[in-house]
Each structure stands twice: as C-alpha cells, then as structure tokens.
Amino acid sequence: VRTMQSLHCEYRKHTITASVMPHPDSPLPYAAGCLITAPDGHTSRRMSMPMKFFSDLENAQHVSLAHGRALVDQQLDEGHKVF
C-alpha cells in the first residue's frame, strides 16, 4: 500500500511526517495518519486516525501533522507510551 509522505514538521524535538493513505475509489479518498521520529532516531509505526477521511490531500496532511503533535504532547506531558 502506497502512502503519501511529503509534509513534515519539527515539534518538541520530534519530527512528524504526514502519512496519508490514498483510497481512490472513495468519495473521501485520503486517510489521515502520521509517523513520529523521536530525538533518538526511532520512528513509530504509522499512527492512523480512525475514521478520518478527507476529500482534499492538503487538508489530510495538515490534520495528520496536528494529530502527530497531539500524540507527542500526550506522551511527553501525560507520560503515556503512545509511540
């Protein structure tokens, strides 16, 4: 399965990369998700957003990055092992 990984950002010493999966036969053809690379170089599995599909690739990428930032916050601030 091919994912689209182009947009990324640095956040709290982590690199978040949008990982959008295309679903071409769907009216909402883009599934949001992200990869998170920790400061030690470890990269997470694809962290998908359940039931989050978008008609626009750019919107899906931006939502994916916001999801990644929230996951980093959750792990750093709340001490939950998220990725």
pTM value? 0.89
The per-residue pLDDT for 1 is 56
Cβ contacts of 36 within 8 Å, gap of 6 or more: 14, 15, 16, 17, 43, 44, 47, 68, 71, 72, 83
What pLDDT is attached to residue 60? Answer: 94
Q: Would you state the pLDDT for residue 63?
A: 95
Enumerate residue ranges in the chain where pLDDT < 50.
Answer: none
